[in-house]
Amino acid sequence: MQTKAAVLRDIGQEWSVETIELDPPKAGEVLVQMKASGMCHSDEHLVTGDLAGATSPMPLIGGHEGAGIVMEVGPNVTGLEPGDHVVFGFIPACGRCPSCASGHSNLCDVGGEAFPTGRQISDGTARHHTADGEDLGLMCLLGTFAQHTVVHESSCVKIDKDLPLDRACLLGCGVVTGWGSAVYAAEVGPGDFVAVVGAGGIGANAIQGAKLAGARVIAAIDPVEFKRETAMELGATHTYASIAEAMEGLGDSTWGRGFDKVLMTMGVGNGDALGEAFHLGGKRAKIVVTNIHPTVEPSMAVPGAFLTLFEKQIIGSLFGSANIRKDIPQLLELYTQGQLDLDTLVTNTYSLDEINQGFEDMRNGKNIRGVLIYD
C-alpha cells in the first residue's frame, strides 16, 4: 500500500513528507494506522547527528512515540487483532532474552541488536520503501511519523479503547522515561529533596513522578520561563534558571544538605553540565542520567573524589528503567484517576505536513511536547 511519511535523508536536513510504499506485515508483525505521535527530542537527535550510529541508517522514517489502531496482523501474531488500540514501546520487549527475563525489558537484547539496522526484527528486511523503491529504516523500529507503519508485535502494548490516543502516545517514550527516572531509577521516596535539570518532555514527567512518590522539595531547573511555569503547575516547589542559580539556592531549597536525587533531563546532555549538577547532590545522592549525551562525547567532568567521599551514585537510565507492558497501562490508569497529568504536557498539535514547524517550535523552547495528529 501507499502511505505518507516524514523521511530524513541526512544529518542537518529537514524532514521530507512524502508518499512511500508499505509492504504488508510478515510473521509476528502488524500494520498500524497511526493516530498520534509525539515529537521527542530523540528524533531531533537524528537531525543533529547526536545519535549517529545508535539508530537506523539514512534514509529513515522518524518518530518513536506513537499510538494507533491495528489494521492487519501477520502470521503468528498472538496478542493483537485488527481494531486493537496500541501504544508503541520505543524499545521492543521480546519477553525472552536475559534482560526481559530479569525485569529489564527496557534493555531488551533483541531491540539492542536491531536498533542500528532500522530493519524489522523478524527477518532483518525493510517493509517501508521510498517511491523509487529504496529501503527506508525506522527510528526505534517504529517510524511513527507516518500515517501507517508496520512494526513487530514486541513493540506494541494493547490499551483500552476508551483512552484518548493523542494522550496515550506520550506513554511510548517521554512520560514513562521521565516518570520512571524519578520513581524507578532514582527511587524517590517520601520526604526526599529532588532536583530536575531540564523541564521539557522528560523533565516535566520526572517532576510528576517525584511528586507522586512524595518528594518534599522538587526543584526544576530550566532556562525557559514557560517551562519553569509549567513545572510549578506539575508539582515543582522551586524553580531556577540555571544549575548555578540552583547551587546558590541550596540553603533555601535543601537547608544546605544538597539534593537526595538529581535527575538529568536536558534536551542534550553534556559532560560539563553533568559535572556541575553533580555538586547539587548531597551525601549518598543519586544522580540519574536520563538525557542523551552525544554518542561521540568521551568524558564527563565529574570530580571523582566526591563520588567516593560523599558516596554519590551516578546512574544511567533508559526509558526510566521501566517495563512497557507493566508501566504503560499503569500510567494510563493513573491518568484516568487524575494522578498523572498528560493534558498539560501537550502544548501544540500539528499535522504531518507541519512537522518541521513542530521541531522548530521545540528548538525555540515553545513546547513541552508537540504532538502530530493524523486524520
**Is residue 103 a contact point for another protein (CB under 8 A)?**
no
**Is residue 223 a contact point for another protein (CB under 8 A)?**
no
**Is residue 249 a contact point for another protein (CB under 8 A)?**
no
**Contact letters for another protein, residues 153-182 (x by CB under 8 A):** --------------------------x---
**Whole-number minimum distance, CB 171 to another protein, in Å?**
13
- Residue ranges in 273-332 that form contacts with another protein under rule CB under 8 A: 330-331
Separation between Cα atoms, residue 22 and residue 72, nearest integer Å: 13
Separation between Cα atoms, residue 375 and residue 275, nearest integer Å: 45
- Cβ nearer to another protein, comparing 168 with 213: 213
Complete DSSP assignment for 341-354? --GGGEEEEE-GGG
For another protein, which residue of 112, 124, 191, 303 counts as binding (CB under 8 A)?
191
CB 93 within 8 A of CB 324: yes
For another protein, which residue of 114, 213, 218, 302 counts as binding (CB under 8 A)?
213
CB 37 within 8 A of CB 145: yes
For another protein, which residue of 80, 212, 232, 314 counts as binding (CB under 8 A)?
212
What values do phi and psi take at 316, rounded to 5? -80, 150
For another protein, which residue of 71, 300, 334, 373 counts as binding (CB under 8 A)?
334
Q: Which stretch binds another protein (CB under 8 A): 3-11, 33-41, 70-78, 186-194?
A: 186-194
CB 125 within 8 A of CB 27: no
SS3 string, 278-335, reads HCCEEEEEEEEECCCCCCCCCCCCCCHHHHHHCCCEEEECCHHHCCHHHHHHHHHHHH
Residue 103 per-residue DSSP state? T
Q: Which three cell numbers stand for residue 353?
A: 505536513
**Is residue 235 a contact point for another protein (CB under 8 A)?**
no
- Cβ nearer to another protein, comparing 19 with 339: 339
For another protein, which residue of 78, 299, 337, 364 counts as binding (CB under 8 A)?
337
- Cβ nearer to another protein, comparing 57 with 189: 189
For another protein, which residue of 339, 344, 351, 357 counts as binding (CB under 8 A)?
339
- Cβ nearer to another protein, comparing 58 with 334: 334
**Is residue 209 a contact point for another protein (CB under 8 A)?**
yes
Q: Which three cell numbers stand for residue 22?
A: 508499505
For another protein, which residue of 4, 26, 104, 216 counts as binding (CB under 8 A)?
216
CB 153 within 8 A of CB 79: yes
**Whole-number minimum distance, CB 182 to another protein, in Å?**
9
CB 159 within 8 A of CB 296: no
**Is residue 190 a contact point for another protein (CB under 8 A)?**
yes
What values do phi and psi take at 140, rounded to 5? 55, 30
Partner residues linked to 70 by β-bridges: 32
- Cβ nearer to another protein, comparing 235 with 365: 235
**Is residue 232 a contact point for another protein (CB under 8 A)?**
no
Q: Which stretch binds another protein (CB under 8 A): 21-29, 86-94, 212-220, 303-311?
A: 212-220
For another protein, which residue of 103, 214, 303, 316 counts as binding (CB under 8 A)?
214
CB 185 within 8 A of CB 290: yes
DSSP-H helix ranges across 49-105 = 98-101
Separation between Cα atoms, residue 298 and residue 316, nearest integer Å: 15
Q: Which stretch binds another protein (CB under 8 A): 50-58, 68-76, 121-129, 207-215?
A: 207-215
Separation between Cα atoms, residue 217 and residue 232, nearest integer Å: 12
Q: Which stretch binds another protein (CB under 8 A): 65-73, 125-133, 188-196, 313-321?
A: 188-196
Q: Which amino acid is at 145?
A: F
**Is residue 26 a contact point for another protein (CB under 8 A)?**
no
End-to-end CA distance of the chain: 17
Judged by the rule CB under 8 A, the positions of this chain that interact with another protein are 179, 183, 189-191, 209, 212-214, 216, 330-331, 333-334, 337, 339
